[in-house]
Amino acid sequence: MVVPGFVFGLVLPLILPAGTSADVGFRFASYINNYMVLQKEPAGAVIWGYGISGATVTVTLYQQQEAIMKKVTSVKARSHSWMVVLDPMKPGGPYNVMAQQTFRRKNITLRVHDVLFGDVWLCSGQSNMQMTVSQVFNATKELANTAAYQSVRIFSVSLIQAEQELEDLAQVDLQWAKPTSENLGHGIFTYMSAVCWLFGRYLYDTLQYPIGLISSSWAGTPIEAWSSGRSLRACGVMTRGLIQSDFVTGPSKYSVLWNAMIHPLHNMTLKGVIWYQGESNVNFNRDLYNCTFPALIEDWRQTFHRGSQGQTERFFPFGFVQLSSYLSATSDDTFPQIRWHQTADFGYVPNARMPSTFMAVAMDLCDRKSPFGSIHPRDKQTVAYRLHLGARAVAYGEKLIFQGPLPENMELLADKGLLNLTYSLEIQVQRQHNIFEISCCSDHQCKWLPAPLDTVSAQSLALNVRSCRGTPAALRYAWATWPCEYKQCPLYHPGSALPAPPFVAFLTDLRPGAHRRLAE
């Protein structure tokens, strides 16, 4: 299934859920197939499907010709579905899975082969997640680099909408497969997701066991399309009017992609999710994104935990990409606002509202000459690398630096015209650039003024705020749609080359000479 154009989404007919008839055929769920990866220990993988009401279903796991596990269940009367949870398995394979339905002394047998156990990650979002490996820098080299990654298996969901929650996928673009140059670079904005693939490849380099990657994304879509009605109501999102925005070119009706492209996967046992979305909310419900995004994460976690019979962790790791840069004809601060709201207005993750999350900062990965438009930068390798660092820390408990320096303390030295900032990590000034700004207020009016760097030490810096003749009210960093050129933002961590994320902090309660802690 091909998506025409670049950011444009193909609007397909809505799929309406149909009642399952009593003569439903015996089958596995749509995504249980040859070459799949099932979630490894400590969780148990879920195997499920459909059959004749009241029939007995026996699921057997084989290694070569030896049966090593057997589970028995029955087909439910109302849903005509059956489900078993396998015992936790160590990573590896290959295995074969056989399911046999017995009804009135008649047996029907299904088999899938070359099944691996490892970690399963779901990748979702809009066009920057949908961009394929054929669209990134050094595409030819990346497409050819598959021989060492035959245990990283890929799967891509079709672009489908639905008015109500579907229990199974209506259509699949790419069934479980080993990676090839053809299925990694099938076309433009089709499959396989470059961020998803590269993230999985980096994880495999570290973990050295199978990784399953499921891509379910659609260009030009707002977060409301990926959210359940429950999570939208929790944020007071009620209006269903038409959206007028250059950034919304795909389906925008509330919940239609949650219903058709995410909910059908909820019985699956997952390790975690990565997400790249937000551009389509720059001019739509932007001020609600600090609620709708955390609410989406919480709702997905609840739904997958319940659907997998508690096998998917209740607070499974959820990683996301903070929006990159965009060459805009206007100089508003809508992009910086979305970047801030992506963190629930903390400026960093994990935080109290977004536990077990990790973020890849991408504002310094701009691409003026992208043939797909500057909103689609081609360096997805660095995006995926930064994401995988977060996963190693948050999902796998590895002790490593996975985010750039965060401001921890602030001190106003009014007599010297300086504002001191202390950071959580060592900082390196890449280049002198007036990217700090101070809000200066007088006569009930405030204006943002440059706050140039004065001095820099290993873990702190001083800003010159003498231009402020009134009262300093707030400080912000990298608060622009295009804050810097490619990998040339001012502040990075020297060892990891991770950029300091953008932030805004209010100073109204900061007395001269007093300290304020910014990050908890």
Angle in degrees, CA 74, 214, 216, rounded to 5: 105
Distances 257 to 20, 166, 217 between C-alpha atoms, Å: 21, 10, 9
pLDDT of residue 330: 74
> Which 3 state secondary structure label does DSSP give 385?
helix
With a pLDDT cut of 90, the percent of the chain lying above it is 86
Give the phi and the psi of residue 387 in degrees, each rounded to 5: -60, -45
Question: Which of 327, 283, 309 lies closest to 486, judged by CA?
Answer: 327
Q: Say if strands 14-15 and 161-162 run parallel, antiparallel, or are unpaired.
A: parallel
Contact 404, 460 (CB under 8 A): no
* H/E run at residue 128: helix 127-130
Residue 17: predicted pLDDT: 39
Report whether 50 contacts 25 (CB < 8 A). yes
The pLDDT value given to residue 1 = 37
Instruction: Decide if 173 contacts 132 (C-beta within 8 A).
Output: no
Core vs surface per residue 345-369: b (16+ CB within 10 A) or e: ebbbbbbebbbbbbbbbbbbbbbee
CA distance 302 to 314: 6
Question: Strands 46-50, 14-15: parallel, antiparallel or unpaired by DSSP?
Answer: unpaired
Report whether 318 contacts 297 (CB < 8 A): yes
Task: Say yes or no to pLDDT of 459 above 90.
Answer: yes
Which secondary-structure segment (H or E) carries 342? Answer: none
pLDDT above 90: residue 18: no
Write out pLDDT tens, residues 373-414: 999 999 999 999 999 999 999 999 999 999 999 999 999 998
Per-residue pLDDT reduced to its tens digit, 228-264:
999 999 999 976 655 867 788 899 999 999 999 999 9
Specify whether the CB–CB gap between 215 and 191 falls below 8 A.
yes
- Pairing verdict, β 357-360 and 436-442: unpaired
Number of H helices, E strands in the chain: 9, 27
pLDDT computed for residue 517 by the predictor: 58
| Per-residue confidence (pLDDT) for residue 332, from 0 to 100 | 83
Residue 5 has a pLDDT of: 31
CA 102 – CA 436 distance, rounded (Å): 69
What is the Cα–Cα distance from 251 to 219, expressed in whole angstroms?
9
Alpha-carbon span 415 to 396, nearest angstrom? 48
Distance CA 152, CA 196 (A): 11
pLDDT above 60 for 55: yes
pLDDT at 2 over 90: no
Token duo for residue 417: 């015209």
**Between vectors from CA 28 to CA 27 and to CA 31, what angle results, nearest 5°?**
140
Give the residue from 107, 106, 68, 66 showing the smallest Cα distance to 87: 68
Reply yes or no on whether the pLDDT at 496 is more than 90: yes
Range of weakest confidence among 19-33, 147-161, 403-417: 19-33
| Beta strands 318-321; 272-276: pairing state | parallel
Angle, helices 380-394/194-207, rounded to nearest 10 degrees:
50
**Residue written as tokens 């930064």?**
386
Q: How many residues does the chain have?
A: 520
pLDDT > 60? residue 195? yes
Question: By the 8 A CB rule, do 343 and 354 touch?
Answer: yes
Residue 72 CA to residue 100 CA, distance in Å, equals 9
- One DSSP character per residue, 248-313 reads --S--STTHHIIIIIGGGTTS--SEEEEE--GGGSSSSGGGHHHHHHHHHHHHHHHHHHHTTT-S-
CB-CB contact of 91 with 109 (8 Å): no
Among 195, 194, 211, 191, which residue's Cα sits nearest to residue 203?
Answer: 211
Rounded-to-integer distance, Cα 141 and Cα 134, Å: 10
The mean pLDDT value for 146-175 works out to: 97
What is the pTM (predicted TM-score) of this model?
A: 0.93
The rounded mean pLDDT for the chain is 92
pLDDT reading at 4 higher than 80: no
- Which of residues 6 and 157 earns the better pLDDT score? 157
Query: Which residues lie across from 59 on neighbouring strands?
Result: 71, 99
Confidence band (pLDDT; 50, 70, 90) for 430? confident
Lookup: tokens for 458? 């290993």
Q: Does residue 148 register a pLDDT over 70?
A: yes
CB 394 within 8 A of CB 350: yes
